[in-house]
Structure 1
Amino acid sequence: MALMKFSLVTAILAIGLGITVDSFGEESWVVVVRAGDHDRVDTPVRIDLNAAPGAETQARVPSLATGPKPFLLKELSQDGKTLHDPIVAQIETLARESGPPVRLTWILKGMTAAGTERRFKAVSGQAVNATNPWTLSDPTAGPLVLKNRDRPFFQYNTRPVSHPDYPPIQTRDAYLHPAYTPSGALITGDFSRHHPHHRGIFLAYTKTQVGSDHPDFWNIQSGSGKVVFDRLDRAETGPVTARIESRHRWEAKGRGTVLNERWQIEAYDIPDSPYWVFDLTATQQATGASMELLPYRYGGMAYRGPEPFVKGPLDVLTSEGRNRLGGDQKPTRWVDLTGPVEEGSDRYGGAMILDHPSNVNHPTVARIHPILLPFFCYVPGHDVKVSIGSGEPTVFRYRVVIHDGRPDSKLNQRLWRDFAEPPVVVVESKAASR
């Protein structure tokens, strides 16, 4: 794990806020986190800093252009005193089409009660010594393998994955597998004899229409459609997050690429947590004729469990308190699917996927296979046709929680609120925040 050093933090934040270095150095500004209506525990928070353009920021601090950097924050009490040792946040510039160029991210550690706020100030004039908790493999050498504190997290497959027992038409890339719990248990499946086209954590649609054609991107054995990795835009790590940004092509037989897709994956380092957390945002845009998602019972963002899950028994819970049978074909905000990590074991693990309120037809209907297959998916076109056009992109946002143990409804509801109704983070003058 690499040791990162960074100074001039006051200058960076001052540029991002559009104020002078001297005024920030005199503690004129603080960053305020407001919990809102819910208790928070170890919650990821961030703020996009306004004002100065990214070009100016990078010109003054060129090292920011090379990726995320550590940034010290000290928490202040109501009387302005420092509460504890500084915490390490992450500061970076993001190449985006629009919006603020400087982003600050950190973990709001410990308990933050509903209705309260916490205040933070940049630590000026002090170098940052921070160990990067993340390791990403060389993207030119094969699939991207992400580790956290030397523990395997997941593998993002950028090259076609084949199996000797299945024909070449069943090869696929652009999905996550294997993925592991924090204790190291495998919780994704691939090339199962029960539906080998189910591939770890993946996204594909089943019943579609593009012009006069009906490509099926889910059942790739049909040969009518397949999602293909195109290119890697970004793969980088910092003191708080690891980020992968990539492009996929949705290819239909006889038509070529009918849909372009961008994946943005961002994983959060939450030390000593019994779960991993990462966000997966899929941005889709048709290349010509719109892709119509016709009403059908499955197809969308999906999770497939490993072989020990097949014999189960599975323990499944939805946000409405339903189990595997009761939750199938019902709208929901989250689904948590767990099973024995080894055949016959009472040790469980699994994954929960949270459906963001901004998604099409949220709360989205979930297909949870009721008898044999350890999988579920969100189906935006379950009851009504959904059109993905060539103009404004269609964006789907999900948060994935990989964990040891069985579903915990109280924990899951808290994680859902952190995703759907995150704390408000603002910058205020020191006088105004008192």
Structure 2
Amino acid sequence: MKSILTASLACAFSILAARAADPVTVAREGTQMVFRTGKSEILRYQAEPGEFPRKDIKDIFRRGGYIQSILTPAGKSIIDDFPPNHIHHHGVWSPWTKTEFEGRHPDFWNMGDGKGRVEFVSIGETWAKDGKVGFQAKHRFIDMTAKPEKVALLETWDLSVASEEKRRIIDLTITQTCATDSPLKLPEYHYGGLGLRGNRAWNGADNCKFLTASGLTDRLKVNTAKEPWCWIGGKLDGATCGVTILCHPSNFRAPQPIRVHPTEPFFCYAPQQSGAMEIVPGKPYIARYRLIVADGEPDAIAAAKWAEEYAK
């Protein structure tokens, strides 16, 4: 019995030591902040705009202030950047689409129209606590329809990452405040808010899969559904992987309505689907989301537990 106990304790210490040897780290690498556990890369946040991946992209699409890549524990990349059929889509990002600001109508999402853009401003100090590593980034929403251009919103991202053997946990808190005494009005619209662009291999109606908290898998039914969590994923190199996106119950209009594209790997939590809203001076708009990245098929039972934990 003693030898079994000793062996068990040794095994436990060995596991703890292995975990302790690979803490999550984050470091600046050029125009990106890169999270790793040991030698395994987890996530890249694009600070200042980087180089375009192709020569055919016009300068108006230059963009910073978003999550550029996310990898599963097996090293599979689940998001895309500058996809050819939607050049203005970027990994995980959070612009608004249809807006009204001081009587004008900037569009911070469709950058090619030249009506609005979101700029990276700065990164604060990194921190580590309770197995998580993170930092705060600042962005600003520029109304390009104003002459001269005018800042409409100030945005902060509080971004943190934790790593376990079979999953990566990414927490994102978005705080948006008015940059002037004028509100940013958001008319009812079908997308805008938190967006995620899935891997390019998931293009096509049959290649990108979904699963929601209420059990929806048909993307036409997932679209406009109000769900506390949704998994989006598909096959990469013959194996399934994906991300479960959790909408915190404290969010405005939670669970927020979802927008998914009919044929492309795109997901969005869009609270303005439920009617007009606005961000007013002196009252920040705060939205919290958790992304759980894993290899394998989605697990509805596990996702329900994750949502319960996140709500606490």
Give the TM-score of the pair, scaled to structure 1. 0.64
Alpha-carbon shift at residue 209 of structure 1 (Å): 0.7
Is residue 265 of structure 2 the alignment partner of residue 374 of structure 1?
Answer: yes
Is residue 105 of structure 2 the alignment partner of residue 220 of structure 1?
Answer: no
Is residue 104 of structure 2 the alignment partner of residue 209 of structure 1?
Answer: no
Is residue 31 of structure 2 the alignment partner of residue 142 of structure 1?
Answer: yes
| CA deviations over 1:302-359 (Å, ceiling 9, x no partner) | 11111111145222011111122211111111111001123xx2x1111121111111
Distance 1:359 1:315 in 2: 25
Secondary structure of the corresponding residue to residue 169 of structure 1: helix
Alpha-carbon shift at residue 265 of structure 1 (Å): 0.9
One-letter amino acid matched to 2:273 = H
Is residue 246 of structure 2 the alignment partner of residue 354 of structure 1?
Answer: yes
Percent identity over paired residues? 29
One-letter amino acid matched to 1:236 = W
Secondary structure of the corresponding residue to residue 254 of structure 2: coil
Q: How many equivalent residue pairs?
A: 290
One-letter amino acid matched to 1:133 = P
Q: What 5-or-longer segments of structure 2 have no aligned partner?
A: 1-8
Alpha-carbon shift at residue 362 of structure 1 (Å): 0.9
Alpha-carbon shift at residue 237 of structure 1 (Å): 3.6
Q: How much is the aligned-residue C-alpha RMSD, in angstroms?
A: 2.0
Is residue 225 of structure 2 the alignment partner of residue 330 of structure 1?
Answer: yes
- Provide the residue aligned with 1:265 in structure 2: 159
Distance 2:127 2:31 in 1: 16
The answer to whether the 8 Å contact 1:136/1:237 transfers is no
Q: Which aligned pairs between 1:102-251 and structure 2 lie closer than 5 A?
A: 131=21, 133-138=23-28, 141-161=30-50, 162-163=52-53, 164-237=55-128, 240-251=131-142
Q: What 5-or-longer segments of structure 1 have no aligned partner?
A: 1-83, 88-108, 110-129, 423-434
Alpha-carbon shift at residue 149 of structure 1 (Å): 2.5
Is residue 192 of structure 2 the alignment partner of residue 299 of structure 1?
Answer: yes
Alpha-carbon shift at residue 170 of structure 1 (Å): 1.0
Distance 2:85 2:195 in 1: 16
| CA deviations over 1:158-217 (Å, ceiling 9, x no partner) | 011324221001111111111100110011111111211111011111101111111111
Secondary structure of the corresponding residue to residue 109 of structure 2: coil
Distance 2:288 2:114 in 1: 28
Distance 1:217 1:359 in 2: 21
Distance 1:237 1:399 in 2: 18
- Provide the residue aligned with 1:125 in structure 2: none
| CA deviations over 1:57-89 (Å, ceiling 9, x no partner) | xxxxxxxxxxxxxxxxxxxxxxxxxxx89x9xx
Distance 2:68 2:23 in 1: 21
| CA deviations over 1:213-240 (Å, ceiling 9, x no partner) | 1111111111111111100112234561
Alpha-carbon shift at residue 132 of structure 1 (Å): 6.0
The answer to whether the 8 Å contact 1:187/1:305 transfers is yes
Secondary structure of the corresponding residue to residue 230 of structure 2: strand
Secondary structure of the corresponding residue to residue 417 of structure 1: helix
The answer to whether the 8 Å contact 2:23/2:37 transfers is yes
Is the deviation greater in 163-172 or in 308-317?
308-317
Instruction: Go from structure 1 to structure 2 and tell me whether the alpha carbon gap of 1:131 and 1:237 turns closer, same or farther (over 3 Å shift).
Output: farther
One-letter amino acid matched to 1:304 = R
Distance 2:110 2:207 in 1: 26
The answer to whether the 8 Å contact 2:96/2:192 transfers is yes
Distance 1:196 1:406 in 2: 29
Distance 2:309 2:68 in 1: 26
One-letter amino acid matched to 2:188 = P
The answer to whether the 8 Å contact 1:332/1:365 transfers is yes
